[in-house]
Every structure is written in C-alpha cells, then in structure tokens.
Amino acid sequence: MEMISRIRSSVIRMHSLSRASWRLLVARRPPVVRGYSSGPAPRVCIVGGGPAGFYTAQQLLKARQDAVVDIYERLPVPFGLVRFGVAPDHPEVKNVINTFTQTAQHERCSFHGNVTVGKDVSVEELRQAYHAVVLSYGADGNRSMEIPGEDLSGVISAKDFVGWYNGLPANKELCPDLSSETAVILGQGNVALDVARILLSPHEMLKKTDITQHALDALAGSSVRRVLIIGRRGPLQIACTIKELREMVNLPNTRADMLPSDFEGVAETLKDLPRPRKRLTELLMKAMNGGGDGPVENSWGFRFCRSPVEVLSGPDGKRAAGIRLAFNKLEGSGEVARAVPTGQFEDVECGLIISSIGYKTIPIDPDVPFDPRRAIVPNDMGRVQDTTGLYCSGWVKRGPTGVIATTMNDSFDTARILLQDIEAGKLDVSINKPGAQAITALLQTRGVKTVLFSEWEKIDAEEESRGKSVGKPREKLLNVEEMLKLAWS
C-alpha cells in the first residue's frame, strides 16, 4: 500500500490521470515470464536508444530469462550515434545496427521512440513504474572553447557538423559556409579526422554513402582545399587511432602538409614507445616525410603544441576570418605531458573553424544527481550516487571517450552490477511494477504518442527505398514531423 501511495502522489502531483489510466497504473499486474522464477518479472527502463542503451538491454536480456526491458528514446528513430555520429564512409561500423535490431525485436524488449525523458515523463515517474532505471542518453551538448569570438559566424562545433552531414534533425539547417580555401579544426581525435576527411573526400566517394543529400550538394560546391588540424600537445599525445590516420594519409588527390619542426626529437623516442603509440607515430612521421609528390588538389596537416586564444573577425565584425593560436611547450612526457603557453602567437587566416574539443553530457532531470565539472552523472560502477534503483551506462557514466567497443564493455559492466543488486536483494523485484503499461497511459494523458520499433521499420524501409533510387544505402529523413507521419501511417 505504501508503494501505491507513492505512485499516486507522484503522478497526481505532475498531471491528473483518467480513471481508466489510473487503474492501468496500479492494478494491472505485469506478466510473469516462465522459466526463471515464479515471481514478477524484473522490469528495467533504459533512457536512450543509442549504443549504450542497446548494449545494456542486450546484456540484461541475455543474463536473466525473465527480465523485461523497455528503451525510451527522444527521437522517433533508434541507434543514436551509430546513426548520427559514425562517418558515412564507415558503413562497416554501422553493422552493429543488425545486433541492436535483434535486441529491439526480442520478445521481452520494447522500443518507445518520440519520448523526451525529463519533459514528457520524469525520471521519478519511471522509477515508480520500474524496478530499475538505467540512464544511457549520451552526451548531447557542446564543450565551449571559452575564447573571444567563438560565437562569430563561421565557427561551428564538430558535433553539429557531423550531425549536419549525418542527418540529425536538429542540425539540418546548419548550412556551414564552405566558401573559404582554408578550414581549421581544433582537436586531434577521431571526430576531428572524420570531419577533415569528409571536407576533402572526392565527391565520387561520398555519393555512394548514406551522407545526406543536402550535405553532399554543399560539399560538391565547397571551396575548402586545405585543412589544418590543431592540437595543444605534441605528436606523441595525438588522440586519433591509426585507422583514422591511415585513411587521411591514403585520401585520393590529397597530400599531408606537416612541419618538420613539430617532430623534433620524436624519432629518438620511438624505441621506448608502447607498440600502438609507436605504430601511430611512425605513420605520422611517414606522412610528414612523404607528402608533396605529384599533382594534388587538397592538403591537410597537423599543427602541434598550439592552443586557440581568439577567433579573429573580418571587416564586418560578424564573420570569422582567422584564428589566433598560442604556442605551447610541453612539461613532462608521454600521456601525462602538460601544455604550457610560451607567450608566442601566430595568426592563421581561415573562414571556417570547427571545434572538435569534445561532447558534453547535459542534465535531463533536476531529480537526478549531476556533476557539472565532469559533466557526468556521478556514480559508483554504474550505480547512481545516493539513488537506489537508478543506474547509468555509456558517456553519461564515464564521459564522452572511447569507441563503440568501449561503450559496449562499459554497458555490459553496468548491466552486471544491476543484476548483482537484484541477486543480493538490493533491488526488490518481488513488488509488482506496471512498466510500459503505466508510462504509455501516462504519456497519452499528456498528448505524447510513442513510436514503436515496428513503426520505425516503416521509416527505415522508406529511407532505404529513397537511397536505392539514387545509388545510396539510404537517404535519411530529416524532418521529425515527416518521420512521425510515416511511422503512424
């Protein structure tokens, strides 16, 4: 009775329910899944339909034959950064969607798109309806450079640029200005190299990918011929992987433009480097020594030990015309080396500046603990701080680092912790929880209609059909209203 009272007070405080919806919330018992226990099925809610959410769901479903998992996603479409973050010329990375689809189609898993947690439904309401809630909603914010001029036209984030060419609805109107010859990318991770590669890739390569048509058209008319990729530390601290670097080195009609002065003393350190770092550094030096032969249309290059201090405006004071960089020296060595300003500067003329200094998790609900300094939900091995039954996985748990495999392992770890808590009695799964039945009824009273996975498949089929007609894997829908109309048709 105490549990019912908490549910009643929480829900009535937010919104009133119809009598029929209230009966659904507290009276209807969830089904018992046979073959594991005679009690109620553990019901788990996952917030976020990207890699972290699907991997968490996959592990829970595999480990417990009675677990029931519901995934809630803000957009009408699933798969998060696999759909909107992976570069269009990396289709092999997107093959993981096949595994996620199997998870979504599992008899004990349901996908509910078009639901914004924190707005349409609160985390507390989810906690009342489920035995456990896992936050897996990623990192949707941009890190600020905190320098003068970063708000000028011509300065954009790599997250938004990637979203623009990958069809993220929020970025469909970005319209980056590609009229200048030189573009500067701040940051030297894999995302920075993705952006550089897309800017310089031949049209013939891109038109066979699932890049959005509006981005393909804009890039076909681009004037960008030179891309500089700026990092505050040196070549021994560069954050990209050898695969991404090799793709830049092998990009057709393009040469590497490096400064030998940036590599002073590097050759002498090679023998002492760990093997992965050694291979990466050797490829960097090969690119530095081997560029420039034969006619080329484009160039790219790393610039090391430089930090942005100001975006320089053009005559109108509104558009970026260049960037001022501070020279750094390194204190310490290896991965822990620190960049320290020397007091010297250089100005680089450019009309497009793309900041690739990292994504940032943002809080979605005031009732959820949040660490603004680290931009994560504070947790212990996935257990959210001081909140029983609330967990997190992926970037919201550890910060926006690593590749999809990193997220997979991290999400599996969170699922195991959750399951351990069930086994240890820290989560009482003997109490009946209504799960999606209650939340769907609640959303209906608020005018929110969900998109089920079978309805997403209508969108999927339409995108593939549109892509096939122009020789592409798919042509993504960019408008949420169009997605919803098609899903519910």
Res 39: pLDDT: 64
- CB within 8 A of 211, min separation 6: which ones? 88, 165, 166, 198, 472
Kindly report which listed range (7-16, 91-100, 210-219, 231-240) carries the lowest average pLDDT score: 7-16
Q: Tell me the C-alpha to C-alpha distance, in Å, between residue 366 and each of 123, 327, 372, 399, 482.
A: 9, 41, 12, 19, 32
Q: Which fold has domain 143-359?
A: FAD/NAD(P)-binding domain (3.50.50)
Q: Is residue 333 very low, low, confident or very high in pLDDT (cuts 50, 70, 90)?
A: confident
CA dihedral 175, 176, 180, 184 (to 10 degrees): 180
- Tokens, residue 487: 């899903």
- In the DSSP assignment, the letter for residue 40 is P
Res 248: pLDDT: 96
Strand partners, 306: 327
Q: What is the pLDDT of residues 258-270, one digit of tens each?
A: 999 999 999 999 9
Residue 306 pLDDT exceeds 70: yes
Judged on CB neighbours under 10 Å (0-12, 13-18, 19+), 18 is exposed
Interatomic CA distance for residues 122 and 365, integer angstroms: 7
Strand partners, 374: none
What residue segments make up the domains of the chain, in order of their start? 2-140+361-451, 143-359
Q: Which amino acid is at 178?
A: L
Interatomic CA distance for residues 391 and 132, integer angstroms: 7
Order the strands of the 379-380 sheet from edge to edge: 109-112, 68-72, 43-47, 132-135, 390-392, 383-384, 379-380
Residue 396 pLDDT exceeds 70: yes
Q: What is the pLDDT of residues 454-463, one digit of tens each?
A: 999 999 999 9
Buried b / exposed e along 75-106 (16+ C-beta atoms within 10 A): bbbbbbbbbbbbbbbeeeebebbeebbebbee
Q: Tell me the C-alpha to C-alpha distance, in Å, between residue 236 and each of 129, 188, 460.
A: 50, 12, 43
- The CATH-assigned architecture of domain 2-140+361-451 is 3-Layer(aba) Sandwich (3.40)
CA dihedral 401, 406, 407, 411 (to 10 degrees): -130
Q: What is the pLDDT of residues 95-141, one digit of tens each?
A: 999 999 999 999 999 999 999 999 999 999 999 999 999 999 999 88
Interatomic CA distance for residues 136 and 52, integer angstroms: 6
Q: Is residue 24 very low, low, confident or very high in pLDDT (cuts 50, 70, 90)?
A: very low
Interatomic CA distance for residues 137 and 158, integer angstroms: 19
Res 403: pLDDT: 86
Instruction: Determine contact, residues 109/61, Cβ cutoff 8 Å.
Output: yes
Q: What is the mean pLDDT of residues 45-56?
A: 98
Quick one: which of 49, 161, 167 has its CA closest to 116? 49
- In the DSSP assignment, the letter for residue 371 is B
- CB within 8 A of 473, min separation 6: which ones? 91, 209, 210, 464, 467
Res 293: pLDDT: 54
Instruction: Determine contact, residues 154/223, Cβ cutoff 8 Å.
Output: no
Q: What is the mean pLDDT of residues 246-254?
A: 95
Q: Which amino acid is at 107?
A: E
- Tokens, residue 212: 């959005």
Handedness of CA 342, 343, 348, 350 (dihedral sign): positive
Quick one: which of 77, 66, 72 has its CA closest to 107? 66
Predicted TM-score (pTM) of the model is 0.89
